[in-house]
Amino acid sequence: MTTKSWVDLLVITAVILVIGTLVVSAADPVPASSGTSSLLLIISADASGNLLSDSELQLTQGTTNLSDNPPLDQGEGQAAIGYDEKTLATSGSITYTRTINLDTSSQSANGANLETVRQIDYANGGDGDGVGTMYSRESVLIEVESTDTQDEPAGACPAEGSGEPCPTCSAAVSDDGSPASQLYNPYCVFSDPVDDDDEPLDDDTEILDDDDEDDSENGDESPAFSDTTAASSVRVIAGSEVQLSEGSVNSASSSRTIADNPEAGVEASYSVNIDGSGHSGDDRAEGKAEVFTDAFVMEGYGTNETTEVGYEQQVMAQGLIEISMETGYSSP
C-alpha cells in the first residue's frame, strides 16, 4: 500500500519599518487675536461589536481680514491647522481612546495650538465570529502664508514661470478638502508687481504712460524690498491609514502656528506606531497600513522666490506588519 503525504507551505509577509523625517525652514507664526478660546476633548470607548468615530477640526488665524483671502494683501499673513480622523470597526473587540487639546492663544517655542493623542487596539475575534475589520485614517495639516512688506502692492497673479493661471489666486485654489483650501496656492505670495494703474510692469526700462507714476527715488519701477517680513509659503501634511483584522495604532501630533513672538516659530509633528493587538497577544498587526508625509516650502523677498523645498514620503505594508513613523517641520 502506498501512502501519500501532503505538506502545505504557508508564506507570511512580515514587514517592520521605522521612518523618521524632519523639514526645517523659516516661516513665521501669526499673532493671536484679542479673543482666544480653548477646547479639550477626551474620548474613551470599549466595545465588543462595532465602533464609529468621525471628526474634523479647523483653526485659521490671520493678521487682517480672513474674508477677502485669497489673495493676501501686502504684508498680510494667514495660518491654518487642520486635523481629520475617522475610525470604523466591525464585528470585533476594540478599545479606543483619543484626546484633542486646542488653544488659540499665543504660544511659546515649547507650546502648541493643537495637540492630539490616539490609542486603538482591535481584534476581529473578540466577538466570536472572526470576520470583522477595522479601518482608520488620520491626518494633521499646517498651512502658513505671508507676503513681504514692500512699497509696491503685489498683483493677484502668480510669479512668471510658476505655471499657475492667474485666476486661482483670487478664487478657490484647491479641491482637496483641506481646511485651508481657500488659501493655499504657494505661488500667490510671489506675485508680479503692479504700477499705480494696475498694469503689470514688464521691466525697468518700460516707458511710463499717462497713468503711470514712478514711485522710486532713482526712477526704477521695481518694488523696494523690506527686511522686516519675508514672503513665505509652507504646507505640511502627515498621517496614516490602516485596514486591519487585528492590531494596534498609537499616534500623537502637535501643531503651532500662532505666536506673538516670531522667534517661537512654526511647528508641526506627527508620530504613529502600528503593531500587534493586546487583545490577541500577537507581536504584529495583521492587514494593511500606510504612512505618509508631504511638505512644500517656499521662501523669498518681495516677488522673488529664493528657496523652494519639496518632500514627499509614502510607505505601504501588507501582511504581518509593524510600522513606526515620526515626522515634523519646525522654524526657525
For position 258, what pLDDT does the model report? 95
Per-residue confidence (pLDDT) for residue 159, from 0 to 100: 47
Give the model's pLDDT for residue 145.
Answer: 87
Asked if residue 46 is part of any domain, the answer here is yes
Cell 475610525, residue? 87
Which pLDDT score is estimated for 83? 96
Q: What per-residue confidence (pLDDT) applies to 223?
A: 30
> What confidence score (pLDDT) does residue 23 get?
56
User: How crowded is residue 129: how many other Cβ atoms within 10 Å of its Cβ?
Assistant: 10
Cα 36 to Cα 32, 79, 106, 110, 268, distances in angstroms: 7, 15, 9, 19, 20
Q: How many CA atoms lie within 13 A of 61 on its CB side?
A: 23
- State the pLDDT at residue 219: 39
Pairing of strands 134-146, 14-24: unpaired
Report the domain count for the chain.
1
Q: Which residue has the cell 519639496?
A: 310
What pLDDT score does 195 carry? 37
Q: How far apart, in whole angstroms, are the C-alpha atoms of residue 291 and residue 21?
A: 12
Cα 259 from chain centre: 18
Residue 232 in any domain: the answer is: no
Q: Is there a contact between 158 and 300 (Cβ–Cβ < 8 Å)?
A: no
| C-alpha span between 321 and 331 (Å, rounded) | 34
The residue assigned the cell 473578540 is 126
Residues composing the chain = 332
**Per-10-residue mean pLDDT, the chain, length 332:** 38 57 68 88 93 93 84 84 95 94 94 97 75 93 83 45 50 46 65 43 40 41 39 91 96 96 92 90 90 90 81 93 92 80
How confident is the model at residue 161, as a pLDDT? 55
Cell digits for 13?
509577509
The rounded distance, in Å, linking the Cα atoms of 165 and 172 is 12
Residue 214 lies in a domain: no
Residue 139 within any structural domain of the chain:
yes
Q: Is 227 left (phi over 0), alpha (psi -120 to 50) or beta?
A: alpha
Cell of 319: 501582511
Characterize the bridge pairing of strands 304-330 and 267-275: antiparallel
* 15, part of any domain: no
Question: Cβ of 299: how many Cβ atoms within 10 Å?
Answer: 20
- The predicted model scores a pTM of 0.77
- Count Cβ neighbours within 10 Å for each residue of 272-287 and write b for 16 or more, e otherwise: bbbbbbebbebebbbb
Structural domain that includes position 47: 25-208+219-227+244-290+301-330
Residue 236 in any domain: the answer is no
